[in-house]
Amino acid sequence: MKNEFLKGLTSDELEILKNKGTEAPFSGEYNDFFEAGIFICRACKTPLYESSTKFNSGCGWPSFDDEIKNTIVRYEDLSGGRVRTEICCAKCDGHLGHVFTGEQITEKDTRHCVNSLSLQFKAYTKLEKATFGAGCFWQVEKIFKATVGVYLSSVGYMGGNTDNPTYEEVCKGQSNHAEVVFIHFNPDIISYLDLLEIFWNNHNPTTKNRQGLDVGTQYRSVVFFHSEEQMKIVESSLNQQSKNWKNPIVTQIISAEKFYRAEEYHQNYLNKNSLGSCGI
């Protein structure tokens, strides 16, 4: 590691970045962390990973399936009696972790396994949040993920009465959570009203706790607003939409609650499995 970037690092950070150490699994601050922003090198501050490439691999360290172009260098690592590929920051040569392929976890079939102590997170301040429930979250995410102006999307659960719900609990109606898509979007590119139009146009808001053959409270039509302004926009939009439907709209309008990110295999499910839709 280049000496000019050592100043200011703690002993724990030096152990990893300079001496190629490894923090204990599940101990790092970024292991279970999915905010919208960019991850930079803790030593030289070079941007390394967009948060949109981060996923939960279950390995105990932050995982990414892609890097920012030309920011990572790779070395053969024969330590520990096995062949691995070490990854380091291209600018300061600080140790980040290792990269693996062939695990078939993401579309890109790549996992950068990185120490939290090698990284710092910088949040994007110009993005806004939106949360929609419109039936099976696989299809809803696919639609919003392809929308220009949507930077980050995750599927999960909101609006229930238990902590840390599992998919099985949600499907059985035991937690009262809705399946939702949680979005970070750039309002300079797409407005909240435009996102609402996509929401209305891609499900039936007049069927209570049901979308097609999917029946249950988890499939209810719901908008979780993140501000007073969003609430007013949703209410106005719903009034306009009511003119387009023969039956009354039953969509709930609720203040955003805690979002529980769904199990990793649900994230980007249709694209990962080369499916055009849920098949309903």
Shared domain check, 101 and 140: no
- Give the Cα separation of 7 and 4 in Å (integer): 7
Determine the pLDDT at residue 253.
98
Shared domain check, 268 and 172: yes
- Give the Cα separation of 51 and 174 in Å (integer): 32
Higher pLDDT residue, 278 or 222? 222
Shared domain check, 144 and 224: yes
Shared domain check, 92 and 181: no
**Is the model's pLDDT at 276 over the cut of 80?**
no
Last residue of a domain, one of 123, 158, 185: 123
Shared domain check, 110 and 135: no
Determine the pLDDT at residue 66.
97
Nearest to 181 by CA among 228, 149, 142: 142
> Is 134 part of any domain?
yes
User: Any idea what the CATH number is for the domain that residue 63 is in?
Assistant: 2.170.150.20
Shared domain check, 135 and 47: no
Shared domain check, 266 and 168: yes
Shared domain check, 52 and 169: no
Determine the pLDDT at residue 273.
86
Last residue of a domain, one of 63, 91, 123: 123
Last residue of a domain, one of 123, 140, 168: 123
The pair of three-digit structure tokens given for residue 216, joined into one six-digit string: 């249950």
Q: What are phi and psi of 50, to 5 degrees?
A: -75, 140
Determine the pLDDT at residue 80.
80
Q: Do 280 and 207 meet the contact criterion of CB atoms below 8 Å apart?
A: no
> Is 277 part of any domain?
no
In tens, the pLDDT along 87-110 reads 999 999 999 999 999 998 998 999
**Is the model's pLDDT at 280 over the cut of 70?**
no
| 113 tagged catalytic | yes
User: Any idea what the CATH number is for the domain that residue 230 is in?
Assistant: 3.30.1060.10
174 — pLDDT class (breaks 50, 70, 90): confident
> Is 280 part of any domain?
no
7-18: string of b/e by CB count within 10 Å (b at 16+)? Answer: eebeeebbbbbb
Shared domain check, 97 and 147: no
- Give the Cα separation of 217 and 188 in Å (integer): 34
Tell me the helix, strand and coil percentages in the chain, rounded to 5: 25, 30, 45
What is the pLDDT averaged over residues 6-35? 96
Give me the catalytic one of 44, 89, 113, 278.
113
> Is 278 part of any domain?
no
Q: How many domains does the chain have?
A: 2
In tens, the pLDDT along 183-202 reads 999 999 999 999 999 999 99
Shared domain check, 160 and 116: no
Give me the catalytic one of 41, 88, 89, 136.
136
- Give the Cα separation of 261 and 211 in Å (integer): 22
Shared domain check, 214 and 158: yes
- Give the Cα separation of 178 and 251 in Å (integer): 12
- Give the Cα separation of 159 and 147 in Å (integer): 25
Q: Containing domain of residue 28, as a range?
A: 3-123
Shared domain check, 53 and 84: yes
